[in-house]
Amino acid sequence: MVGQNYLEVKKFFLSVIFFLISIKVSFAENFNFKKIVDLNDPWSSTFISSNELLITEKSGKIKLVNFNSKKVLEIKHNLNYLEHGQGGLLDILFKDDNVYISYTENRGDGKTSTSIAKGEFNKNNLIFKNIFQANPPIDSGYHFGSRLAIKDNFLFASAGERGQGMIAQDPTQHPGSIIRINIDGSIPKDNPKFQGKSDWLPEIYQIGVRNPQGLTLSPFNNKIYLSNHGARGGDWFGEVKKGENYGWKILGWGGTNYSGIPIGPKWKPGFTKAIHYWVPSIATSAITIYKGEEFNEWNGHALITSLKDQSLRKLVFNDLSNVREDIIFKGKIGRIRDIQVDPNNGKIYFLAGDSLWLMEKD
């Protein structure tokens, strides 16, 4: 009798598990993925009209994709870039007829910096002028960051620590920090340097980041959020906070060095605490706070893309004491480098692998 009851209970739980799995699979299959065009190592994208997307390829090209015609136009530019390791052409952002771009600038003798340039949009030739250089230039192909976000008349940018570790704790050097400048490249009068942190470089807004490849402005609360790569584990999603310190490389955020040696605690008082952590690492990349009609049930939620994990994660974080994570899909389109939400209809575009993809409801 006891054995029969055990079998009945076992069957019940197996049926529940099967039901839950079937729900998850059904949910994942409610999306259509359409490949729009093939590209060469695409890194970032930005809408310039309802049917045109401007795209950077890390190898050095800027391309304009028209959704209607499926035509791809290469736009000439004057950037003094160097494709080196993880570096090349990085983030691109269109705003008020201007194009802002972060890139790996060739500073000579093998040294490079994460730099930002601005130019008036032109479909034939983009003439850029630098408005920021991360100093000092460093001979390294690692951890450039870098993403851009505009809030009011301020340009926020993430600058990776170039694999130099504790440089992220030195506010007299740019690598490993969040930058905040005016959109013309001048320095805001209320940056931390002018409000009690006199030893900080004037462009630095926050320190202690490692390799932040996601940065976005929330249209709901007007806050800037970012994602950051840990080492072996310790990826995170958090808020940009003025004059604060995320702790790299004093903190390990739950990860370890690649050698397996511990780095430091996940968090301790005195440092900015991230909203959500991933251990082991999923290799977080671009992020956005969703606003749109196509997936209107996601409005206000953070969408996190990943490289290693090849997944799209959704975070519900309105209650920071109870952050909920959902895996929307995984392993369908390859390593995801960028995400853009169409401002007209809320459909989602990804740069993944060597292609531009569209995700819409079935």
CB 22 within 8 A of CB 28: no
> For 160-185, what is each residue's pLDDT tens digit?
999 999 999 999 999 999 999 999 99
Sign of CA dihedral 114, 116, 117, 123: positive
CB 99 within 8 A of CB 56: no
Strand, helix or coil for residue 17: helix
Q: What is the pLDDT of residue 221?
A: 97
CB 329 within 8 A of CB 312: yes
Query: Which tokens sit at 342?
Result: 């169409």
> For 206-232, what is each residue's pLDDT tens digit?
999 999 999 999 999 999 999 999 999
Q: What is the pLDDT of residue 182?
A: 98
Domain boundaries, the chain: 33-39+81-118+130-361
Maximum separation of any 2 CA atoms in the chain, in Å: 82
Q: Is 225 exposed, middle or buried (0-12, 13-18, 19+ CB in 10 A)?
A: buried
Query: Which tokens sit at 188?
Result: 């805001």
pTM score, two decimals? Answer: 0.91
245: nearest Cα among 196, 207, 274: 207
Query: Which tokens sit at 65?
Result: 């994709």
Query: Rounded to whole angstroms, how far apart are CA atoms 296 and 210?
Result: 33
Choosing among 1.10.10.60, 2.120.10.30, 3.30.1780.10, 1.10.30.50, the CATH entry for 33-39+81-118+130-361 is 2.120.10.30
User: Consecutive 10-residue runs of the chain (362 residues): their mean pLDDT?
Assistant: 48 41 42 95 96 97 93 97 96 98 96 98 97 97 96 98 97 98 98 97 98 97 97 96 98 93 95 97 97 97 97 97 97 97 96 96 89
CB 47 within 8 A of CB 94: yes
